[in-house]
Amino acid sequence: MPLETKLPKVGTTIFTVMSQLAAEHGAVNLGQGFPDFAVPQRLVDELDAAMRAGHNQYAPMTGVAPLRQAIAEKALRCYGRQVDADNEVTVTSGATEALFNAIHAVVRPGEEVIVLDPAYDSYEPAIELAGARAVHVALDPQTFAVDWSRVRAAITPRTRLLLINSPHNPSGAMLDEADLQELTEILRDTGIFLLSDEVYEHIIFDGRRHESVLRWPELAGRAFVVSSFGKTYHCTGWKVGYAIAPPALTAEFRKVHQYNTFTTFSPAQFAFAAMIREQPEHYEQLGAFYQAKRDHFREQLLGTRLKPLPVPGGYFQLVDYSAVSDLPDTEFVKWLTVEHGVTAIPLSPFYEVPPAGQRLARLCFAKNQATLDAAIERLKKL
What mean pLDDT is predicted for residues 249-272? Answer: 98
Tell me, what's the pLDDT at 34?
A: 87
Confidence of residue 32 (pLDDT cuts 50, 70, 90): confident
Sorted by sequence, the CB contacts under 8 Å of residue 92 that are 6+ apart come out as 98, 101, 240, 241, 242, 243, 257, 261, 264
Out of 281, 311, 331, a domain closes at 281
Residues 223 and 306 in one domain: no
Q: 3-class SS at 78?
A: helix
Tell me, what's the pLDDT at 146?
A: 98
Residues 108 and 191 in one domain: yes
Confidence of residue 19 (pLDDT cuts 50, 70, 90): very high
Query: Is the residue at 6 inside a domain?
Result: no
Residues 104 and 124 in one domain: yes
Query: Is the residue at 3 inside a domain?
Result: no
Average pLDDT in the chain: 97
Residues 18 and 160 in one domain: no
pLDDT reading at 292 higher than 90: yes
Tell me, what's the pLDDT at 9?
A: 86
Residues 161 and 304 in one domain: no
* CATH number of residue 165's parent domain: 3.40.640.10
Amino acid of residue 28:
V
* CATH number of residue 337's parent domain: 3.90.1150.10
Residues 24 and 93 in one domain: no
pLDDT reading at 160 higher than 90: yes
Tell me, what's the pLDDT at 108?
A: 98
Tell me, what's the pLDDT at 2?
A: 85
Query: Is the residue at 328 inside a domain?
Result: yes
Query: Is the residue at 346 inside a domain?
Result: yes
Instruction: Work out how many domains the chain is built from and give that number.
Output: 2
Burial class (CB in 10 A: 0-12, 13-18, 19+), 314: buried
**CA-angle at 368, arms to 363 and 369, nearest 5°:** 90
Query: Is the residue at 9 inside a domain?
Result: no
Residues 82 and 122 in one domain: yes
Out of 218, 252, 281, a domain closes at 281
Query: Is the residue at 95 inside a domain?
Result: yes
Tell me, what's the pLDDT at 11?
A: 83
Tell me, what's the pLDDT at 1?
A: 83
Sorted by sequence, the CB contacts under 8 Å of residue 164 that are 6+ apart come out as 116, 175, 183, 194, 195, 196, 197, 213
Residues 352 and 205 in one domain: no
The parent domain of residue 91 ranges over: 43-281
Query: Is the residue at 7 inside a domain?
Result: no
Query: Per residue in 309-318, pLDDT tens?
Result: 999 999 999 9
Q: What is the DSSP string of 304-361?
A: SS-EEPP--BSSEEEEE-TTT--S-HHHHHHHHHHHHSEE-EESGGG-SSPPTT--EE
pLDDT reading at 275 higher than 90: yes
Residues 244 and 308 in one domain: no
Tell me, what's the pLDDT at 334?
A: 96
pLDDT reading at 10 higher than 90: no
Query: Per residue in 45-79, pLDDT tens?
Result: 999 999 999 999 999 999 999 999 999 999 999 99
pLDDT reading at 171 higher than 90: yes
Spatial distance between the Cα atoms of 89 and 231, rounded to a whole number of angstroms = 18
Query: Is the residue at 83 inside a domain?
Result: yes
Residues 266 and 306 in one domain: no
Residues 59 and 120 in one domain: yes
Residues 75 and 215 in one domain: yes
Amino acid of residue 259:
Y
Cβ atoms of residues 114 and 161 within 8 Å: yes
Query: Per residue in 72-104, pLDDT tens?
Result: 999 999 999 999 999 999 999 999 999 999 999
Could you give the C-alpha distances from 365 to 32, 71, 238, in angstroms and in order? 10, 27, 20
Query: Per residue in 218-237, pLDDT tens?
Result: 999 999 999 999 999 999 99
Out of 251, 281, 311, a domain closes at 281
